[in-house]
Structure formats: C-alpha cells, structure tokens
Structure 1
Amino acid sequence: MIRRTRRATPHPADTPLLCKITSILLQYPDNRVLAHLTQVTAVLPAITDTVARDSLGGFTDWLAGRTPTEAAQHYVVTFDHTRRRGLYLTYYRHGDTRARGMALLALKHTYRQAGYPAPEDELPDFLPLMLEFAAAAPEPGQRLLIQCQAGLELLTEAVREAHSPYAELLDVIRACLPDLPKRHRDELRALAEAGPPIEQVGLEPFAPPDYVTGGHR
C-alpha cells in the first residue's frame, strides 16, 4: 500500500546537502563509502531540519556499527536481489521498454546541458547519481527527481516493507519533494499493482493471420 502521509518539507537551504549526503550513503558500502562516514557525521550539525538530521545520524550510526561484510550483504539483499527495490528509477514507470530508453536519453541531455560530467559506466537514472547531480545543480536536479518521483515512492515503500534502515534515507529525499496530487497517488497505486510495463517486441498475434484480417469464419 502506498502511504499518503508525509512530514513537512525541510528548509530549501538544506536540500543540496541532504542530496549530497544521501548520494554517498545510498551507494554500495565499499571502503570508499565507509571512509566517508566520519565526514558525513561531521557535517550533520549543519542541517537545520531536526528530523532529517536525526534520520541521517541514526543511519550513519547503524552503518558504522556493521562490519564491511555485514554492510555489503545487507545492501545486496536490499537493492540487488529484486527489481522491486532497484535504484534505477525510470524502470518503475517504463520497465524494459523503448520508453525507458527515451527517458534515459532525456536524463543524459539534462546532465550535459548543466555541464555535469555524468559517468559513462552508470545509467543516468541511478538514484545516487541523480542525487549527486541535484546537489551540484539544485534546480535541474530537483526537476529530475520530481520527474522520477513515482519510482522513488515505489522504491521507498518496497524498502520499508523489507524493514531496511535504507528506508530512512529514502524518506529524507521524499520529504525534499512536493507532495503528490491525488490523481498522481491514484496512478501510483495502479502502477504498484500492475508493475512496470512489458514491451512485446517481435511477437506474432496469438490468432491465425486470416482471423486477424477478417478471413476467419
């Protein structure tokens, strides 16, 4: 079930820093990411929103309390074992279809227009990458997150159902975005029930050709 309730939006001045922190913490917890925990903890007092600050502080405490192996295993189980919890946001709306390819091209175009050097070895709808962009270029970055908000909502719900602490990070991001209007919430519920679309490419009709053309009697 898609939850409607949300807390108040953090102060806009917090948003770039929140995007930067979550872009780091939502990446695979290798040695590089774990080495950033001290820096992340050091900048948390600069966040004026107490709920966001407490959520991030709680998550960093949890991650710091795991061994590298435990942290890696939890991340893989949370995000890599099912597409319902994948970090590639355009998949939720478009699935593996041509429409998703167009959406990915549009994201790349926005990155290039803003002069952002997006890596070539990562898809442009990877949430940590989108958050890094939103921290560097807040206005276009916010627009992209809003465009992919349906995917973020579905991802958050699935991660929450898995009882993962990563849901706290996703809630911090959600709170930075405007609330969804009712018609979009209804659309989201339908998308959650149906799942991503599947493109039937190169398949013949199930009925014989003469039936399709009207020759069947």
Structure 2
Amino acid sequence: MPSDAVLYQAAALCLTYPDDDLIARLPLLREAAPQLRAFTDHAAVTPRRELAAHYVRVFGRGNRHSLYLSRWHDGDPRRVGMCLVRFQEVYHRHGLEFSGEEPPDFLPAVLECTARTGDTGLLTEYRDGLERLRTRLTGYGTPYAGVLDAVCAALPTATPEPRG
C-alpha cells in the first residue's frame, strides 16, 4: 500500500458532503491523517447543519470551487465527455467499477481510486487544476483549503522531460 494512501482516502472523505458517516469518522480521520487536523478539528466543533451549509456554499454547482477535475483541465464543454471516459478507463484498468452518484472526475472518487491503487496519474495530470482549486479555496477562507494543501503536498513532483 502506498505511503500516502491513508491521506488520500481521508481527504476523499473530508471532501464529501458532511453526513453522519463523516462526522462519526472524524476522530479516526484526525488520528490517521494528521495533515488534515485543521479541517477535522474544525468539522468536529462545527454544528453539522452549519458544516453542510458551508459545503454547499463552497462546492455547490456553478461556483468557482468545482470538485469535478475535468472542468479544471480543459474548459471546453465539448471535450468533457472524452475526459470522463478517460477517468472510467483508469478505474477499469485497476479493476474498479465506478458506480457513484457523481461523475467519475469527482475529486473524492479520484482520491479514493488513488488510495486503493497507488496510481497518482490522474491527480498529477490534473495537478494544475488542483493547485488553482487550492488557491481559490485559500482565498475564500474555507477550512477545505487545508485538505487541498495536504493533497497537493503529497503528490509526486514533476520530473522535467529530458532534452534531446
């Protein structure tokens, strides 16, 4: 199992809608992924209703903090379908079936796939988008920025292409 698998799985949970399951797991997430303590501590003391309303304000459809990675990569709505097929292919290649309620480019789903497989390919491919999302979340002043900080910090650094 990759060394950052626990972080990726914990981040996936933190970036989902804050339901009873997330609230029940906060103590475990706090201990398992210390990089996320600022978020888990905040979520633990924030009333669930307030936490849910904040999540919707931050990540609701049509805002500038999309958790759908294909929207950060291309911007051309005509090519989003091709991007979604690519995500499905990566899941399939690892023997995972994506059957979530969200499209396959939903960041928590990608983080969970990464945690299970150790394949950081999709996250590194969309790193620029993750960095833009992280910057926007930081500017917005939301505790979710800390989750993206930890994810981006854990990603492998890009290796320069050899010049020939």
Q: How does the TM-score come out when normalised to structure 2?
A: 0.89
In structure 2, the residue matched to 1:31 is 20
Identity of matched residues, %: 33
Q: Is the 8 A contact 2:2 2:118 kept in 1?
A: no
Q: Name 2:29's counterpart in structure 1.
A: 40
Q: Secondary structure at the match of 1:69?
A: helix
The amino acid of 1:134's aligned partner reads: T
Q: 1:41–1:75: structure 2 CA closer, same or farther, 3 Å change rule?
A: same
1:1-217 equivalences in 2 (<5 Å): 13-44=2-33, 53=34, 55-80=35-60, 82-95=62-75, 97-139=77-119, 142-179=120-157
Equivalent residues, number: 160
Moved more, 88-97 or 23-32: 88-97
Provide the rounded CA distance (Å) in 1 between the counterparts of 2:143 and 2:100: 30
Q: CA deviation at 1:81?
A: 5.7
- Segments of 5+ residues of structure 1 without an aligned counterpart are 1-11, 45-52, 183-217
Offset from partner CA, 1:34-84 (integer Å, 9 cap, x none) = 11112213424xxxxxxxx2x412211110000111100111111116431
Q: Using the TM superposition, give the Cα deviation of residue 93 of structure 1 relative to its aligned residue in structure 2, in angstroms.
A: 2.4
Change (3 A) 1:176 1:29: same
Offset of residue 13 of structure 1: 4.8
- Structure 2 counterpart SS, 1:95: coil
Q: Given the superposition, is the C-alpha separation of residues 92 and 43 from structure 1 closer, same or farther in structure 2, using an over 3 Å criterion?
A: closer
Describe the SS at the equivalent of 2:87.
Answer: helix
- Distance (Å, rounded) in 1 between the aligned partners of 2:157 and 2:7: 18
1:107-130 deviations in whole A, cap 9, x for unaligned?
A: 101101111121253211100000
| C-alpha displacement of 1:181 | 8.0
Q: Give the structure with higher Rg (CA).
A: 1
Question: Which amino acid is the alignment partner of residue 146 of structure 2?
Answer: E
Q: 1:82 to 1:180 in 2, by over 3 A?
A: farther
